[in-house]
Amino acid sequence: MSSQVVCCQHVASFRPGTKYGHPLYLLETFVERDRLRGTVYRAANWVRVGQTQGRTRPDRPEGTWHQAAIKDVYLYPLHRRFRQHLQGQSAPLNPL
């Protein structure tokens, strides 16, 4: 499993923008708290930034929320200054 995570990080950092026309600056993943602990992501230097609220969009006819599993949110930056770019600052970015 950990080798798959590293492989995805590597591919994402060297193939930016192939589908949507802009580079990737940050990877995001969700880990179900009830089933997994996120050990592989932490070992690969992903950062846990919080958790979901355990609900999805209100897609039922009566407009109620569907209950889903609570998940931990992990991020992995692909560039040193990913924050500046995501905030709309146009300074050129260098890979990590």
Is 95 a member of any domain?
A: no
- Between strands 47-51 and 71-77, the pairing is antiparallel
Is residue 94, in this structure, part of any structural domain at all?
Answer: no
Tokens standing for residue 52: 């979901």
- pTM value is 0.67
Greatest alpha-carbon span in the chain? 48
Q: Is residue 36 part of a domain?
A: yes
- Indicate the DSSP class of residue 5: H
Whether 93 maps to a domain, the answer reads no
Q: Would residue 41 count as lying in a domain?
A: yes
Structural domain boundaries enclosing 25? 2-56+65-86
Looking at the structure of the chain, the number of domains it has is 1
What is the residue type of 73?
V
Question: For 43-94, how does the pLDDT look when each residue is reduced to its tens digit (9 = 90+)?
Answer: 888 999 999 888 776 666 776 667 788 899 999 988 888 888 888 875 554 5
Give domain status of residue 82, yes or no.
yes
Q: Give φ, ψ of 85 to 5 degrees.
A: -65, -45
Judge contact between 47 and 75, C-beta under 8 A. Answer: yes
